[in-house]
Structures are given as structure tokens and as C-alpha cells.
Amino acid sequence: MSPQPLLSIRDLAVQYRTRHGPVDAVRGVSLEVEAGTVTALVGESGSGKSTIAQSVIGLLAGNGRVSRGRIILNERTNGVTDLVGLSEKSWRRLRGRCIALIPQDPGNSLNPVATIGWSVGEALRIHGWKERRKIHSRVLELLDRVGIDDPEARVRQHPHELSGGMRQRVLIAAALALEPELIIADEPTSALDVTVQRTVLDLLDDVRTASGAGILFITHDLAVAADRSDQIVVLRAGQVQEAGPSTSVLTRPVAEYTRTLLADAPSLTSIVERTPPVVDAQARPLVEVTGLTQEFARRGRTPLRAVDDVSFVVVRGTTHALVGESGSGKTTTGRSIAGFNQPTSGVIRVGETDVTALRSRRAFHRTTQLVYQNPFASLDPRQSVTSILTEPLRNFGMGDRTDRVERARHHLDLVSLQPEIGARYPQELSGGQRQRVAIARALIVEPELVVLDEAVSALDVTVQAQILRLLARLQTELGLTYVFISHDLAVVRQISDTVSVMQRGRQVECGPAQHVFDVPQHEYTRQLLAAIPGASLRSGYTDPAGATLRADIS
């Protein structure tokens, strides 16, 4: 007789009360998590993944309720507990000690005015630890366990003094404080660079192996799930589309939706069909960056050199990618090209314009536009989409009101949005729709150059694939030139013609994309390539009979 699973969810349904009536966010979901294994819950935003996680740990929003089903936790010490309908007192006993949550965004999950030591030790204090010396010792042990250097110094620091990867490690340390049996990891690496992502995922694997904990791993990326899970549950619109052993689901998918997710994962397949541009070898490049250096003053300290002697060119009608981890200088370089930074030294030319010698940048921004990573933050929530699109035209005195509205309609169509979207506000749109609006706003003034700063990194793989295909189509149709900033080499390989690899402000490698990817010269480039998720699917699983199984996306 097989042992009872650590977590068993049976026919779970979750409903939210809204002004427009009840919304069924989860409908009849069943899954299991065995001790010492990883069950991956995969799906797009809005599929119900986080709602399931919140139900398991008793943290549903006030307007949410479990309307049907059971959630059974089988603890080693206290036996079977049905988590549906537990009192808050019972939840306080379970959270941290039996069930722990690693949230997605450490920036929002760590108290900005509390030290790292206080945050990691909070669960210990809640569960009755009294002696400050014991708490301090345990916090240092946890920080060391998750690979944070110099724990004695880090416990006194605040979240803003740590990198994104280190903050995520702090959240893992806090989750491990009381050695829980079940860990819920809710998109714990989606905002991290690929090398940091691999480090964090390796850490979770080590924790699982050492403690025997079960992990419910929530992600929108099947490539990550392929590398790290034993079981996969594919979720869409609150319902299970497919579930089973990871090898079976990924190499022999039954559901069409699973095939779509596999086909849209840039690390697994070619999602963008691009025709290499015809380049005139005699023509002058549109963008020329020579010896770019950017320093930022720091009170009482040596200036921070964010970009150090970077040089490259971008041929008109092509895409040049700036690749590297957070802090490598990618965004600073991109903002300098777009005219938002005044470089410390070096020269940037866009067409006939010396960007570093501009007296007025207003006219320059007719030819060069910047698309930000987070469209929700860069779109005015008080303006309709039509107002957002017509604002640059008003600012540049382009056309009358009727002409501007017509241009807005045309550019909505250009980015494959329906005309009625123009009457909506940013908060009424999906993430993919908002990013399309941001792209349309950049294109409406008819620029020659568009700088895209992590413009697809926060999107689900299916939406990301749509935006990448859109960018490729617009480049072909309009002859656009892109500077594409990303930490994701799988995406860069899809869309770029040339690449600069940056590390700590310096350009360590530069050249044609195919050459950089196929024959990397620098060790850092090789590390970035090795960290791309989905290696198990690309190389293939080996079944018990010795046959090699690869993802079926046909």
C-alpha cells in the first residue's frame, strides 16, 4: 500500500465576490504533492495558480472562499488535517511550522524598514522562540545555508541593500526557519536573471533533498518545470488541462494548450520566423556607440561606474541585443542611447545626431523611442488608451484632433488590438494588451530607432511569444531598428542580429548573434547559455528502455 501523499487537493473550487457578481477562479482542481518531490503547477496569469497556493496556506483574499472540495495535509507528527475551514488559530499553528510560502516578489514581501535578520527571525518569534541569542544564531545558520555571504553583516542590512537574487534567498531562508514539510514556491524566480534563477532553483533542490520536504512549484514556464519537477499539472482558466509525470506530460502532451505552452517557450523551440535583413556594407550604421562610460555620483564615496568603455554599432533595420544580469549596465546603456542619460565620456550617434552633444532632446525623441519593462507603471492610469496614444502627437504638434484619433486607431490595428480598446484604461487591460499599447505609443511618432528595455521579461510565455512575433513583423513592415535589452538569452537568440554581452558594466563579448551563441568566446557568455532553462527537454529524457524522449510540439 503506497503512503498517503503529503498534500492532496480534491475537486477544489474557489470563488471570488466582485461588483459584477461571483467569479469562479478555480473549478474542480485535483492534485497531489508527495514528500521529497516537486509538483509544478503551470499556466498563464489568471489561470488560478496563485489562488490554489493561497487556498493551501489559508491566505485567500477577503472576497475569496473555497466553495467546494478538500485540501488534505498529512503531517508526519500530527497526522491528517483538512485545511478547508480551519480557524485562524489553527492556521497560525500550521503556517511556518508545517507549510511555508516563498512569494514571487521579494521587493514587496520584505519589510523595507526592517533588517534582514528581523525578517528571517519573524517566524521563530511567532512560534514562541524567546531567547534573542538563539534566534540570532538560527538566523545566521539559515542565511549561511542559503548561500548568503557574510551573514553577520547581512543581518543588519535592509532589503534595498541586497540584490534581487539575495533578497529571494532571504525569503527562502525565512521559509525554512522552522523546517516545514510543505513549501509553496509561487513564481520564486520569474523576475530573476537566468544565472541567479538557476542558483535559486539549485538551492530549492538541495533543501528538498536534505529535508525531504515536498514542494508545490508555481510557474508559467514549462522549460523551468521540465528541469525541476517530478509531476506537472497544466492549468488554464481555473481548470486542469493535463496532469501526470513531467516526462510524460512534456514528451507526449495530450492537451492542445500544453502543446501551445511548449511551442511558445523560446528556450525550447523557434517562436519567431525572421528573414535576415539585407545589409548594405557601404551604408553608415544607424547607431554608433564609441567608448561609452557612465558614472553616477555617490555622496562621500567614489563615483559608481555603471558602464565602462562600451562600443558597438547597429545597422539600420536590424536588432542589436544588450545581454547580461541585473547590474551589468544594460539599461544604463539603453537609456543613454535614447537620450535620457548624459554619459560621462564617449560618443553616441543616432543617424546624423550626436546624442551626447544634444542641447534639446525634444526633437531627438521623434526619431528614438523607449519602451519600458513595466507597461502598467509607464501608462497613465487616468488616461484612456486613445488619450495615451494621442499624447505624443499633441506634444510634437502632429496633426489635428481628428487626424490624431485616426492615427491612434491605425496604431491599435498595427499592434493587433481592436478599436474598442481605445476607450479602455490601462487597469482594464491584460499585461500583454498593455505592452502592445506601450509599443503603439512608441511607434505613433514614426521613430527610426526603438529601445526595448526588458519589454517582454514580465510576460507569460504565450503573451511573450505574441509580442516577439509582433516586433519581428513591425520591423519588417516599417524598417525599424531595435536595441533590445534582456537578461534572457533564449529570447535574444530569437530576435537579434547582433549581440553585446555585458558584465559589471563592461562589454565582454560582441558580434553576430549566431556566432556568439554557437561559439561563445567568454566564460561569462558560456555561463549565461548554460543557465537557459529547459536543458532536459532540449537534450531529451531517457526512458527505462533506453530511448531518448523529447518534447512533442507538433
Quick one: which of 191, 197, 166, 203 has its CA closest to 528?
197
Q: What was the pLDDT predicted at 524?
A: 93
Which of 95-99, 505-509, 542-546 tops mean pLDDT? 505-509
- Terminal Cα distance for the chain, rounded: 39
The total number of residues shown for the chain amounts to: 554
Q: What was the pLDDT predicted at 544?
A: 47
The CATH architecture assigned to 1-98+180-196+212-253 reads: 3-Layer(aba) Sandwich (3.40)
Question: What values do phi and psi take at 366, rounded to 5?
Answer: -70, -30
Q: Which residue has the cell 536543458?
A: 535
Cell numbers linked to 109: 514581501
CB atoms within 10 A of CB 93: 14
The answer to whether domain 1-98+180-196+212-253 and domain 287-535 are alike in fold is: yes
Please report which residue ranges of 268-355 form alpha helices under DSSP H: 330-337
- pLDDT of 554 > 60? The answer is no
Q: Which residue has the cell 512533442?
A: 552
CB atoms within 10 A of CB 419: 12
**Please, what is the average pLDDT of the chain?**
88
- The confidence band for 454, taking pLDDT boundaries of 50, 70 and 90, is confident
The answer to whether the Cα torsion of 351, 355, 357, 361 is positive or negative is positive
Q: What was the pLDDT predicted at 552?
A: 56
Contact between residue 460 and residue 239 where contact means Cβ atoms under 8 Å apart: no
Which of 21-25, 183-187, 205-209, 287-291 tops mean pLDDT? 287-291
Q: pTM of the full predicted structure? A: 0.82
CB atoms within 10 A of CB 133: 7
- The confidence band for 525, taking pLDDT boundaries of 50, 70 and 90, is very high
Q: What was the pLDDT predicted at 432?
A: 78
Beta bridge partners of 348: 289
Lowest mean pLDDT among 299-303, 347-351, 372-376, 389-393: 372-376
Q: What pLDDT digit, counting tens, does each position of 65-124 carry?
A: 999 999 999 987 778 889 998 998 899 889 989 999 998 777 778 899 999 999 999 999
The string of DSSP codes covering 280-292 is -TTSPPSEEEEEE
- pLDDT of 547 > 50? The answer is no
- The confidence band for 370, taking pLDDT boundaries of 50, 70 and 90, is very high
Cell numbers linked to 243: 496532469
- pLDDT of 192 > 80? The answer is no
Cα Rg, the chain, nearest whole Å: 25
The CATH architecture assigned to 287-535 reads: 3-Layer(aba) Sandwich (3.40)
Q: Is 320 left (phi over 0), alpha (psi -120 to 50) or beta?
A: beta
- What percent of the chain is predicted at pLDDT more than 70? 95
Contact between residue 11 and residue 68 where contact means Cβ atoms under 8 Å apart: yes
Helix H, strand E, coil C: the string for 120-152 is HHHHHHHCCCCCHHHHHHHHHHHHHHCCCCCHH
Question: Going by C-beta distance under 8 Å and a sequence separation of 6 or more, which residues neighbour residue 21?
Answer: none
- What percent of the chain is predicted at pLDDT more than 90? 52
Q: What pLDDT digit, counting tens, does each position of 321-337 carry?
A: 999 988 889 999 999 99
Residue spans per domain, the chain: 1-98+180-196+212-253, 109-179, 287-535
Q: What was the pLDDT predicted at 551?
A: 55
- Please give the residue that has the higher pLDDT: either 288 or 363: 288
Mean pLDDT of 488-506: 91
CB atoms within 10 A of CB 339: 21
- Please give the residue that has the higher pLDDT: either 165 or 254: 254
Long-range contacts of 187-192 (CB under 8 A, 24+ apart): 187/50, 187/104, 187/218, 187/219, 187/220, 188/102, 188/103, 188/104, 189/224, 190/104, 190/219, 190/220, 190/221, 190/458, 191/104, 191/105, 191/164, 191/457, 191/458, 192/164, 192/165, 192/168
Q: What is the DSSP letter of 551?
A: -
From CA 513, how far away is CA 500, in angstroms rounded?
Answer: 9
Q: What was the pLDDT predicted at 147?
A: 82
Q: What was the pLDDT predicted at 349?
A: 95
Cell numbers linked to 215: 514542494
From CA 331, how far away is CA 471, in angstroms rounded?
Answer: 19
From CA 258, how far away is CA 520, in angstroms rounded?
Answer: 33
Contact between residue 140 and residue 132 where contact means Cβ atoms under 8 Å apart: no
Give the C-alpha distances (Å, rounded to integers) separating 54 from 291, 309, 392, 453. 50, 48, 42, 32
Mean pLDDT of 459-467: 83
Give the C-alpha distances (Å, rounded to integers) separating 451 from 35, 88, 108, 270, 481. 47, 49, 28, 23, 9
Q: What pLDDT digit, counting tens, does each position of 344-358 carry?
A: 999 999 999 999 988
Q: What pLDDT digit, counting tens, does each position of 294-310 carry?
A: 998 878 888 889 999 99
Sheet of 38-42, strands arranged across? 99-102, 182-186, 214-219, 38-42, 231-236, 239-245
- The confidence band for 217, taking pLDDT boundaries of 50, 70 and 90, is very high
Mean pLDDT of 177-201: 85
- The confidence band for 281, taking pLDDT boundaries of 50, 70 and 90, is low
Scored b (16 or more CB within 10 A) or e, 227-249 reads: bbbbbbbbbbebebbbbeebbbb
Beta bridge partners of 321: 484, 499
Contact between residue 336 and residue 294 where contact means Cβ atoms under 8 Å apart: yes
Contact between residue 111 and residue 121 where contact means Cβ atoms under 8 Å apart: no
